[in-house]
């Protein structure tokens, strides 16, 4: 009877000390509470076609008057010099690049003076907070590859007139984000990189405090490359890098206590042996 009893006990499933069943992960394969779980972040809101990108092709009947061209170009150089004297270095550089008519992209890297100004601006902080909440929502849902839609990436509008960001960028038109990080010790931590995208040019409705009309004339009626020395719109960006540090929800452990008829039978057998 003792041998049969021992055989029965060995065959019964244990309440809490059962060996892992076939196909279930071993204890060594289960991540500990402090183990890092990696995640990535990506999303893009492209710059749409808009009036700031207008060229001579949009005004094919416009004729470039030489005297007007010379006067408007001189005005543009004077405004750029004024930006430089006011300490708005990016605004001065962007306007001069526009007047030269090359049309090549201008990118300000993370850590540059204008990037640091963008990082500390209220406009960017508002966008960053909104985007970080959207990322956190997906991470809490268990996603490790976070993909943000265009609607989840608001554009940054620099509205403070006493700022290099306003005179050089103002209302930007696109945004791209990439990032990576991990979940460890109860927090999501990592790094996010924003690329604030814009089109530098002058749409028909942009008076830009009195000199926008003259700049648009240089961009369209006298636009490069149709007219040597004419102006041309161009894409420009500011890259801003920020840390990501958000609380992660607590993981609840699971403990399965198996009960059933075989367990009850074992108790009856044990009681009969006493």
Identify the band that residue 5 occupies on the pLDDT scale cut at 50, 70 and 90: very low
Q: How far apart, in Å, are the Cα atoms of 13 and each of 3, 19, 27, 266, 270? A: 18, 9, 18, 11, 16
Task: For residue 176, tell me if it sits in a domain.
Answer: yes
The pLDDT assigned to 253 comes to 55
Its pTM stands at: 0.78
Reply yes or no on whether the pLDDT at 38 is more than 70: yes
Domain that holds residue 57: 52-245
Q: Which residues contact 174 (CB under 8 A, 6 or more apart)?
A: 44, 45, 46, 47, 48, 155, 196, 197, 198
Instruction: Tell whether 255 is covered by a domain.
Output: no
Q: What is the Cα 70 distance to its own chain's centre?
A: 42
pLDDT at 198 over 80: yes
pLDDT of residue 47: 97
DSSP H helical segments within 141-260, as ranges?
164-168, 212-219
- In a domain? residue 42: no
Alpha-carbon distance of 91 to 103, in angstroms, equals: 16
251, part of any domain: no
Does 94 map to a domain? yes
Give the distance from CA 138 to its chain's centroid.
14
Q: Does residue 148 lie in a domain region?
A: yes
Structure tokens at 125: 């902080």
- More confidently predicted of 18 and 103: 103
Is residue 127 assigned to a domain?
yes
Mean pLDDT is lowest, of 16-25, 43-52, 208-217, for 16-25
- Count the domains in the chain: 1
Asked if the structure places residue 38 within a domain, the reply is no
Of the listed ranges 11-15, 123-127, 140-144, 149-153, the one predicted with least confidence: 11-15
For the chain, the maximum distance between any two Cα atoms, rounded to a whole number of angstroms, is: 117
Which has the higher per-residue pLDDT, 29 or 44? 44
Q: What mean pLDDT value characterizes the chain? A: 84
pLDDT tens for 74-115 read 999 999 999 999 999 999 999 999 999 999 999 999 999 999
């Amino acid at each position: 009877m003792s041998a049969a009893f021992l055989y029965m006990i060995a065959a019964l499933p244990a309440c809490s000390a059962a060996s892992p069943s076939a196909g279930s992960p071993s204890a060594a394969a289960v991540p500990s509470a402090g183990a890092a779980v990696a995640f990535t972040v990506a999303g893009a809101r492209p710059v749409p076609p808009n009036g700031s990108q207008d060229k001579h092709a949009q005004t094919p009947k416009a004729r470039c008057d030489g005297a007007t061209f010379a006067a408007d170009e001189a005005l543009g150089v004077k405004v750029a010099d004024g930006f430089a004297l006011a300490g708005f270095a990016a605004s001065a550089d962007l306007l001069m690049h526009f007047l030269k008519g090359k049309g090549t992209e201008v990118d300000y890297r993370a850590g540059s003076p204008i990037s640091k100004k963008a990082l500390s601006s209220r406009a960017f902080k508002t966008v960053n907070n909104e985007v970080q909440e959207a990322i956190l929502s997906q991470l809490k849902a268990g996603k490790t590859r976070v993909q943000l839609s265009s609607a989840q990436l608001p554009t940054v509008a620099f509205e403070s007139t006493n700022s290099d960001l306003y005179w050089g960028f103002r209302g930007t038109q696109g945004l791209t984000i990439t990032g990576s990080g991990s979940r460890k010790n109860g927090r999501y931590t990592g790094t996010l990189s924003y690329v604030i995208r814009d089109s530098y040019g002058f749409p028909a409705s942009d008076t830009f405090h009195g000199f926008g009309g003259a700049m648009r004339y240089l961009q369209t009626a006298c636009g490069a490359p149709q007219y040597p020395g004419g102006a041309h719109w161009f894409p420009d960006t500011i890259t801003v890098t920020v840390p990501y540090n958000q609380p992660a929800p607590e993981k609840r452990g699971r403990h399965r206590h198996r009960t059933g008829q075989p367990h009850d039978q074992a108790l009856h057998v044990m009681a009969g042996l006493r």
